[in-house]
Amino acid sequence: AQLAISSRTELQGARLAGPRGWLRTGAIQATGAELVPHIPSLAYRFGLVAAGRVDAAFASPNAHDWDLAATDLLVHEAGGRLIGLDGTVPCYNQDIPRHGVLASANDRLLPSLLSAVRDAAGEIQHGR
């Protein structure tokens, strides 16, 4: 089967996977997305984006290269992107093999996903 990322353009009604605590934030709840039950494996979570089985996914900070590199390629080949909150792609094989918050979706859905995840990060950081 060929991989193909979802073509959804709005978070409202989108199938969204992410870290359990982050999915409970007001920012994520307010999106109106269909929250997918927690998927602990980052590779599998982002792999579901590549397969089009979820529309978008994100990960909390400190994911390691070995959790991401292969699934990043799958998402890219399926027509999506895996990027940080600042919009940059992960840089692998660095002295510190950990990454910040990452998000994955198609290019049209990413801006609203990034906005919601940034707001959720603020809630997490400020203990709301």
Nearest 5°: the CA angle 28, 63, 81 is 65
By the 8 A CB rule, do 23 and 35 touch? yes
Instruction: Write down the pLDDT at residue 10.
Output: 97
By three-state DSSP, how is residue 2 classified? coil
Instruction: Write down the pLDDT at residue 120.
Output: 98
By the 8 A CB rule, do 12 and 33 touch? yes
Work out the average pLDDT over 60-68.
96
Of the pLDDT bands very low, low, confident and very high (cuts 50, 70, 90), residue 128 is low
pLDDT of 67-88, one tens digit each? 999 999 999 999 999 999 999 9
Work out the average pLDDT over 40-62.
97
So what CATH class is 15-125? alpha beta
Helix axes 42-50, 65-77, angle to 10 degrees: 0
Instruction: Write down the pLDDT at residue 2.
Output: 87
| Domain map (residue ranges) of the chain | 15-125
**Residue 22 has which token pair?**
């982050």
Determine the distance from the C-alpha atom of residue 41 to the mean position of all C-alpha atoms in its chain, rounded to a whole number. Answer: 12
Instruction: Write down the pLDDT at residue 127.
Output: 79
